[in-house]
Structure 1
């Protein structure tokens, strides 16, 4: 939050691509635009997890979304525990915080993907 309570958020969504690949999408926005971006991330049908971060990388709010139905409960629990400290997420946040880009996307590098052949 800024001086007068305006929002300056980084919104991150973990998007399901396939069982062994998720994508990290990050957007920076302020004011009403930040709220719109948060709601879009929450409501995207393939969003596994969404999160809102401040410009210092602090987690403000977030949670599982509709795309979480594409993965097992065990994998989801591990992702929720690790998302804020995941190197891919931290890299996205660093770019957004620096103001270099307002939108960034990259594959999620993570050791928690289910083993090949493991079902939901």
Structure 2
């Protein structure tokens, strides 16, 4: 069996970074926005974050998606069923995602996440 390394066409160029959601500082509610490029200037636009989230996918989200930071998130995330709902995803060393069907999806982490990490966590809010 042989493996061949294929050089990337954009190996020297960093991927563009986009912000595609906002978090309300008071409630933790997450709202999707039109992707806004955050940097760097010289980058390759092959990132999935630049694409609008499919409207049909958004309709499957519960009515409320929120993000909480908690010092005991990792302990809470050891439980598969809580008042926040059923645990859908564990974010290793960071937290997890709980889902109450059709009502709320709560992302719980010990510390701040990047927009990309938070956007990926929201994907598990769809059952």
Normalised TM-score (structure 2):
0.25
Larger radius of gyration: 2
Higher relative contact order (CA 8 A, sep 6+): 1
Q: Which has the higher helix share?
A: 1
TM-score for the superposition, normalised by structure 1? 0.26
